[in-house]
Structures are given as C-alpha cells and as structure tokens.
Amino acid sequence: MAEQKPMCVICAWRATCQKQFSLKAGQKCPDFVKDVTVKTEEEEDKEAEEEKK
C-alpha cells in the first residue's frame, strides 16, 4: 500500500488550520494528521468488495 503525502486537503485540521497552504514545497507540517473520513481509491474498492459478500 502506498502511503499518501501529507497534504492540506486530506488533513484532519484543514477546517481550522492557520498554516493551510502556506508551507513551501518539500516542507512537512508538524500538525498534519490524516483525516480518517477521507478514503483512497484502494480503501473504497476494498470496502465495495466487502459489501458485495
């Protein structure tokens, strides 16, 4: 499974973040936490297969 890069659009803090989109390319935000409600295509496919069973 490929790990996603920390990006503002999938961060759990994106609604209240003061640093949003202000970091330069290559910098990592120390506050980044992946939002568990945002799913990858792989996770969606796996969930769809489980629902079919």
Q: Are 28 and 3 within 8 A, CB to CB?
A: no
Average pLDDT, rounded, for the chain: 84
Q: Which residues, 6+ apart, have CB-to-CB distance to 25 below 8 Å? A: none
> Which range marks the domain in which residue 16 is found?
1-53
- Which of the pair, 11 or 3, is modelled with greater confidence? 11
pLDDT of residue 36 exceeding 60, the answer is: yes
Q: What is the pLDDT of residue 1?
A: 47
pLDDT of residue 35 exceeding 50, the answer is: yes
Instruction: Give the pLDDT mean for 10-37.
Output: 89
Based on the structure, what is the number of domains in the chain? 1
